């Protein structure tokens, strides 16, 4: 459990709301502000915590700079974590959140890992609903069905003591921002023209290790990955395929989870993804778990068409197995998943001075999964995975 007992718990019902006198203009489609992911909505929610008082009353304030001392724990010792989720404008005109409590619970787990204060995840979810109620109707107008805003809840230690210790002050803030959705590389029913190109990490670089913070969404994981990401980008690749250990186990691709599809020696079709285990090398993505659950429903033996049946496995994946499957013609496809990156097929993996070519569009599974997820998020089908956001 998190370090430090709050004297006053986080209470979304006490939220203070401040209006906006002069809302800023909505950004033009294709603007530099949108391309560079800098287009935030007008307001955000903030709440402060101290070890002596607990949580202060949360407030809605204009989006803008936050106040931190240069010696703040978050700046000096990396005591900060965050979440990523979206609010969707459905084709029926309504606003939805996709399995949002999961992200709020994961924020608590990430904060716990670095000794940030505890809170009730359901109270954070109520705050997320409120900021979406206030901002999304204007920024996601009903005539823009199929659009979304990215939600970034963030928890940081604001304690100004330079001593290395459990923080005694913290801040929670939640803001919304446009995040361009990846464009499909082909039309519905057509094979993709382009895919994600992955560059496998060398043995000298790791993203996560047993007992580390790989399963937490903390900023240090991302900053430390930038040198390899920069190197991969300079070579023309989209993401780093992070490998771990002497067996070169596949863990993540950039900031996304990865799925491999192949046929076994007996000819049956499998979808495999790296496990969530005691090593804590993998971030448990919301999209990841949803893809696993949907696949087990949609492609189960006796439920799906015979040619669509597959087994879904969570297990270690040495990259040598992918190489072997490709050389034997058993590799069917691969894709990555994430809130921001969505569901994108992989076209190639550069590993050990050679390129593993990954087939794309040879089976309908990725397109079917992408379609089902979109239908749920944008309201084409009813699902208890979504929560409606109230509007005026």
200 and 233 share a domain? yes
100 vs 109: CA distance, rounded Å: 15
Q: Are strands 386-389 and 331-338 parallel, antiparallel or unpaired?
A: unpaired
| pLDDT on residue 253 | 97
Indicate the SS3 state at residue 271.
strand
Pair (164, 25) in one structural domain:
yes
123 with 204, same domain?
no
Residues 346 and 254 in one domain: yes
> Quick one: 74 and 168 in the same domain?
yes
- Range list of H helices, the chain: 32-35, 73-77, 100-113, 121-139, 219-223, 226-234, 286-298, 319-327, 365-377
Separation of alpha carbons 224 and 208, rounded Å? 10
Q: Is residue 43 part of a domain?
A: yes
Q: Are residues 202 and 175 in the same domain?
A: no
Task: Quick: pLDDT tens for 51-60.
Answer: 999 999 999 9
Mean pLDDT per segment of 10 residues, for the chain of length 392 residues?
65 95 88 88 98 97 96 98 97 97 98 98 98 97 94 98 97 92 53 84 96 96 96 97 97 96 95 96 97 96 85 97 98 95 94 96 94 96 97 90
Q: Which pLDDT value is given to residue 181?
A: 62
Among residues 48, 13, 51, the alpha carbon closest in space to that of 155 is found at 48
Sign of the dihedral through C-alpha 181, 184, 187, 189: negative
Give 343's contacts (C-beta < 8 A, 6+ positions apart): 287, 291, 335, 336, 337, 366, 369, 370, 373
Question: 39 and 167, same structural domain?
Answer: yes
d(CA 62, CA 55): 20
Specify whether 216 is located in the same domain as 166.
no
Phi, psi of 46 (to 5 degrees): -130, 150
Which of 125, 151, 181 terminates a domain? The answer is 181
Report the C-alpha gap between 48 and 337 in whole angstroms: 33
- End-to-end CA distance of the chain, in Å? 38
| Residues paired with 270 in a beta bridge | 262, 311
- Smallest Cα–Cα separation from 343: which of 268, 275, 256? 256
For residue 21, the model assigns a pLDDT of: 86
Q: 172 with 157: CB under 8 angstroms?
A: no
What local confidence, expressed as pLDDT, does residue 1 receive?
A: 42
The neighbouring-strand residues paired with 98 are 386
Residue 231: CATH number of its domain? 3.20.10.10
Query: Quick one: how far is CA 329 from the chain centroid?
Result: 32
Compute the radius of gyration of the chain from its Cα atoms: 22
Whether residues 336 and 278 fall in one domain: yes
- Spatial separation of the C-alpha atoms in residues 157 and 135, rounded to whole Å: 26
Whether residue 216 is found in the same domain as residue 247:
yes
Range(s) of the domain holding residue 262 = 196-377
């Amino acid at each position: 459990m998190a370090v430090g007992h709050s004297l006053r718990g986080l209470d979304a019902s006490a939220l203070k709301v401040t209006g906006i006198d002069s809302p800023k203009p909505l950004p033009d489609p294709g603007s530099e502000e949108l391309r560079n992911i800098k287009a935030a909505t007008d307001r955000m929610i903030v709440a402060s915590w101290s070890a002596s008082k607990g949580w202060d009353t949360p407030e809605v304030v204009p989006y803008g700079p936050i106040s931190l001392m240069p010696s703040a724990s978050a700046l000096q010792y990396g005591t900060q974590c965050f979440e990523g989720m979206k609010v969707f404008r459905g084709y029926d005109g309504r606003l939805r959140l996709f399995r949002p409590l999961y992200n709020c619970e994961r924020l608590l787990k990430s904060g716990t890992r670095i000794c940030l204060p505890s809170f009730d995840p359901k109270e954070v979810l109520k705050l997320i609903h409120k900021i979406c109620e206030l901002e999304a109707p204007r920024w996601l107008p009903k005539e823009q069905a199929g659009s979304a805003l990215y939600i970034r809840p963030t928890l940081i230690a604001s304690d100004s003591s330079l001593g290395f210790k459990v923080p005694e002050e913290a801040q929670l803030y939640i803001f919304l921002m446009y995040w361009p959705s990846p464009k499909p590389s082909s039309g519905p029913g057509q094979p993709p023209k382009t895919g994600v190109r992955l560059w496998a990490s060398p043995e000298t670089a790791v993203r996560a290790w047993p007992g580390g913070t790989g399963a937490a969404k903390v900023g240090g994981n991302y900053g430390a990955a930038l040198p390899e990401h920069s190197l991969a980008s300079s070579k023309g690749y989209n993401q780093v395929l992070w490998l771990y250990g002497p067996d070169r186990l596949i863990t993540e691709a950039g900031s996304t989870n990865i799925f491999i599809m192949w046929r076994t020696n007996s000819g049956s079709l499998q979808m495999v993804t790296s496990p969530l285990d005691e090593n804590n090398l993998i971030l448990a993505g919301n999209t990841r778990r949803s893809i696993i659950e949907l696949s087990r429903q949609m492609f189960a033996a006796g439920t799906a068409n015979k040619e669509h049946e597959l087994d879904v496995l969570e297990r270690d994946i040495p990259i040598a197995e992918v190489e072997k499957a490709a050389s034997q013609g058993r590799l069917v496809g691969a894709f990555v998943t994430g809130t921001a990156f969505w569901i994108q097929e992989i076209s190639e993996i550069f590993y050990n001075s050679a390129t593993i070519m990954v087939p794309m569009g040879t089976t309908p599974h990725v397109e079917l999964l992408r379609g089902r997820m979109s239908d749920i998020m944008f309201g084409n089908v009813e699902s208890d995975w979504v929560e409606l956001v109230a509007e005026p």
